[in-house]
């Protein structure tokens, strides 16, 4: 998504970036990514940590896997999940923290996204995507 003098950003590059950020757009997915940044996790470990139904956790993991952000491997009868690019995800979290600090977390007040996200946090549902 980086613009250069020879190659300006295209609509397609913004679309791909929007899809990537959509993968990060749910508080539960962010919590999963944060937990995975600490190391590999089984679904049961994530379920216990997040206090959510296994089906919801698996749905979010499938989304993150489809986005190329996580990968899984079989370990006995369980699946173990890990970040595909752990250092990049850690850097993204650090950049988000810096941007939130710089803006005073004004995005939480955004009429388009703030209220919706705050509502999702207050009343999480299994259908959150």
Residue-wise pLDDT for 82-110, tens only, equals: 999 999 999 999 999 998 889 887 887 78
Distance of alpha carbon 71 from alpha carbon 84, whole angstroms: 6
Top-confidence residue, 6 or 70: 70
Distance of alpha carbon 16 from alpha carbon 24, whole angstroms: 13
User: At 47, which helix (H) or strand (E)?
Assistant: helix 43-50
Q: Which residue has the tokens 């970040």?
A: 83
Retrieve residue 90's tokens.
């850690």
Domain 12-122, classified CATH 3.20.20.70, yes or no? no
Assessment of whether the complete model's pTM goes beyond 0.75: yes
């Amino acid at each position: 998504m980086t613009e250069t003098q020879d190659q300006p950003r295209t609509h397609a590059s913004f679309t791909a970036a929007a899809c990537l950020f959509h993968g990060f757009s749910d508080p539960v997915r962010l919590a999963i990514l944060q937990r995975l940044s600490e190391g590999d996790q089984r679904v049961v470990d994530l379920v216990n940590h997040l206090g959510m139904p296994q089906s919801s956790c698996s749905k979010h993991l499938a989304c993150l896997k489809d986005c190329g952000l996580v990968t899984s491997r079989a370990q006995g009868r369980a699946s173990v999940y890990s970040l595909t690019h752990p250092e990049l995800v850690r850097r993204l979290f650090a950049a988000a923290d810096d941007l939130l600090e710089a803006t005073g977390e004004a995005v939480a007040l955004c009429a388009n996204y703030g209220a919706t996200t705050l509502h999702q946090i207050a009343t999480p549902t299994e259908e959150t995507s």
